[in-house]
Structure 1
């Protein structure tokens, strides 16, 4: 205890500065988070501002505030901003070499916001991973997979890879293939598929439904149906039509064959 008291008396200024620095760090961190959340709420409430841009701006503001807090903390210990700039200038090359990946992610983040290949809420495939975009900040893009697993993709990898945006266009085409037996009535099967497509309100009338024989397989005659719908209806429509066609085929005597091999015997 005496040693602690002696240290505190000898280094009273240092202890006081450390306490001030800790207080500034805590308050600055809280303020940065608060300001960032306020900006996000304001942006999301304004229909005239893109949520993706607002989210990115909130991220920038947070990091700027944290940088100012760091400078203030260094100032408490007697390191002036001008000295800090000189030190940072001398260390720029070393830092740049050590943080190549981070700087690349930062630059890519600005490119993603500038060109906006995807936005918040869209379903995309980025760097080989598919998911809904939950966040785009200075360094990473956050995705949520259909089973709600969080995926963090560095912006450098996102910008440097092929980006597939399934939500970019308002409409999508649903392609389905149905195989029928070689002995079944092709026109009847096509009429069933077309009828079910026309009956579903999610199927758009323009472009109209397309139903054609597209392949003569080893065990089946393959009929392809192509219908258009709103992008948000894609999966539910695909699932519903697949089930509806199966049930209609069963009810009207159109068979869906299993893969099989026919053996032919010839008399010698």
Structure 2
């Protein structure tokens, strides 16, 4: 009996005491590591806030770095206790490859979402045209962007598709230029038509006095000249001004007794 107790005492001294010391060191290292990780998160948060980075991106970047550092801390703790971590590292690498292959599309959308939030080609509330969709941006997420069309449809577009296409931002500049091309016949009293149309367009609410409307011949065709009618407005008034200009052109053509087909469209320019 005494021999068994002596063996247990020897085993405790040889194995248990070093293990307890390693365990205490691991616990201390855990608290120190978590304190350093939290401090790093605060510094990272303040740095990105000073650079005026989007709050959503700040939150995800913080979580990403905190998660990666926590995993490294856990692996260090296991190695300190004496647990073999090579298999854990191989398992994490294999899991990363499997997740990357399965979520290739999602990861591309995530990467594109990060670039959209950093580069800021458009913001929430701005009118854009991209990926075959035109409307107001309602939300920019890390994977998808939500856009409301003029007929009140909510369209959700993958960020990779948005970033891979040409993006037209109608609200980037404070002013927009609206252009209508009016085909005319030879023989029309062009000065009188310009005078009547100028009075109509100038009176449209939302049309800016400076720079004022312009009425210039854009090109000549077999049937007659094509008159380019241009006016400036604030981007949020573009829809109403576009409707007013279309109505003014039709009324003026009716007044002079001439009503051909109208080719209309608008372009976006900075004042």
Query: Where on the TM-score scale, by shorter chain, does this alignment land: which range?
Result: 0.5 to 0.7
- Residue 149 of structure 1: how far off its partner (Å): 1.7
Do the aligned residues in 2 keep the contact of 1:219 with 1:257 (CA within 8 Å)?
no
Structure with larger Rg: 2
Aligned match of 1:53: 54
Contact 2:183 2:261 (8 Å CA) reproduced: no
Counterpart-to-counterpart distance in 2, 1:234 and 1:246? 18
* Aligned partners of 1:215 and 1:222 also within 8 Å: yes
In structure 1, the partner of 2:160 is: 156
CA 1:145–1:85 in 2, change beyond 3 Å: closer, same or farther?
A: farther
Indicate conservation of the 8 Å contact 1:192/1:245, yes or no: no
Q: How does 1:100-115 map to 2 (within 5 A)?
A: 100-115=104-119
Change in Cα spacing, 1:258 to 1:194, as seen in structure 2 (3 Å) is: closer
SS in 2 for 1:106: helix
Report how many residues are paired: 195
Q: CA deviation at 1:180?
A: 3.4
* Aligned position for 2:251: 247
Residue-by-residue CA offset, 1:178-199 (whole Å, 9 max, x unaligned): 2334232011111112222222
- Whether the aligned pair in 2 keeps the contact of 1:189 and 1:254 (CA below 8 Å) is no
Encode CA deviations 1:122-180: one digit per residue, 9 max, x unaligned.
11112222221111111111112111222111111111221111111111001012233
Structure 1 unpaired stretches of 5+: 1-49, 72-81, 260-268
Q: Given the superposition, is the C-alpha separation of residues 258 and 98 from structure 1 closer, same or farther in structure 2, using an over 3 Å criterion?
A: closer
Aligned equivalents of 1:84, 1:152: Cα separation in 2: 39
Match of 2:226 in 1: 222
Tell me if structure 2 keeps the 8 A contact 1:135–1:141.
yes
Query: Could you tell me which residue of structure 1 aligns to residue 196 of structure 2?
Result: 192
Q: In 2, Cα distance between the equivalents of 1:182 and 1:117?
A: 45
Of 131, 139, 144, the match for 2:143: 139
Runs (5+) with no aligned partner, structure 2: 1-51, 72-84, 263-271
Counterparts of 2:173 and 2:98 in 1: how far apart (Å)?
44
- Classify 1:85/1:169 alpha carbon distance in 2 versus 1 (closer, same or farther; 3 Å): farther
What pairs with 1:19-38 in structure 2 (closer than 5 Å)? Answer: none
